[in-house]
Amino acid sequence: MHRFLDLQLLNARDEAELTEAFLRVLRSGWFVLGPEVEAFEQEFAKACRVDHAVGVGNGLDALSLILKAYCQLGRLAKGAEVILPDNTFVATALAVNEAGCVPVLVEPEEHSFLIDPQRVEAAIGPNTGAIIAVHLYGRLADMDRLRTVADKHNLLLIEDAAQAHGAFDTSGRSVGALGDAASFSFFPVKNLGALGDAGAVTSDDPQLAEAVRCLRNYGSSEKYVHTVKGVNSRLDELQAAMLRVKLRRLDDDITARRTLAQRYLAEISNPLIELPQVGKPSTSHAWHLFVVRCAARDALQAHLQACGIPTLIHYPVPIHRQAAYKELSGQTFPITEQQAGEILSLPLYPEMPEALVEAVIEACNRFTGHVAAAKPKESSCL
């Protein structure tokens, strides 16, 4: 059985350099907030074409620290409402609660799966303070329209860029530079993945960057001097050293993802399967996930499974349906709910074996809408 994502294969490409970086940190005896983190922050800021990057513990903290920092700077009211899409990973909403703010969910657009600027505007009320745009599956949300809405209502516009490392808009601006601030995750399976948990905040705003830098380290900019009640959420030296090695591959990896996505788009052809949109320009999609849509999704997943093709669902349960968010369970989000029942993520990653690529295409094209009632061995794909 193939893997949905073969991290061993991806990391094996850099084994010598990762090992060398590990030994460098091991022998330095310096493990938290040191030269590797500083160097990675500079390199990542450059890659995103922003002035500042601040390494933190993970993507959830990156987002909550942005919100906390804005509260502290007086640019976001404590307890403010923050608008975000219902169809995102739960961390987007958790970050809002963690910062003492209130998540307000909106539905995505029907076919792009991205946060809908029109619905965002309709959800704005007197207590709204910020909008979080999630670049879901690696495709940039419509930041121009969201910026217009945000400016009109004097709101902060924040990117949840956890899935979109390597995406660029029409004018060549990078993800991470498209809002007031952006949060990144370097969880191992992301487009840029560490060998553990890691994250970063990017921004052109020196005040925001400084506030996050202080918050991540117990609210301290100077040892034993604590100006605010901060947290411990630092990127460590080992992960920073691993990320520096892996960052060098990011552009090539994203190109490989785009090439593979183009191939799926050209060669998967089945009226039962709706293919994802590319977006404009094509660089605005970093193809973290290739998500198709199918009314008979469970049958498609079972059929692919029988053909030896692993798939996943991102995400099967919308936020308002999670037990953790029972306060939102009275709301109805029909578009999100229908999508959650129909979406399926196909394997797509750099260095994906050609045999698997071909098997995915062939199995999708052979899907007839149901799983043959045969024993797995004789299933419809063989």
Ligand X SMILES: *Cc1c(COP(=O)(O)O)cnc(C)c1O
Which positions touch ligand X (CB under 6 A)? 58-60, 88-89, 91-92, 134, 160, 162-163, 185, 187, 197, 199
In whole angstroms, the minimum distance from the beta carbon of 92 to ligand X comes to 5
CA 40 – CA 244 distance, rounded (Å): 6
CA 89 – CA 185 distance, rounded (Å): 12
Picking from 161, 93, 164, 82, the residue whose alpha carbon sits closest to that of residue 125 is 82
For ligand X, the closer CB: 115 or 268: 115
In whole angstroms, the minimum distance from the beta carbon of 288 to ligand X comes to 8
Question: What's the Cα-to-Cα distance from 356 to each of 1, 270, 292, 318, 368, rounded to whole Å?
Answer: 10, 18, 17, 30, 20
In whole angstroms, the minimum distance from the beta carbon of 40 to ligand X comes to 15
CA 346 – CA 5 distance, rounded (Å): 10
Among positive and negative, which fits the CA dihedral 47, 52, 55, 56?
A: negative
For ligand X, the closer CB: 187 or 325: 187
For ligand X, the closer CB: 58 or 311: 58
In whole angstroms, the minimum distance from the beta carbon of 90 to ligand X comes to 8
In whole angstroms, the minimum distance from the beta carbon of 374 to ligand X comes to 37
In whole angstroms, the minimum distance from the beta carbon of 289 to ligand X comes to 9
CA 165 – CA 355 distance, rounded (Å): 27
For ligand X, the closer CB: 243 or 361: 243
271 and 226 Cβ atoms separated by less than 8 Å: no
For ligand X, the closer CB: 137 or 367: 137
Q: In what order do the strands lie in the sheet with 181-185?
A: 52-56, 199-203, 181-185, 156-160, 128-134, 81-85, 102-106
For ligand X, the closer CB: 136 or 155: 136
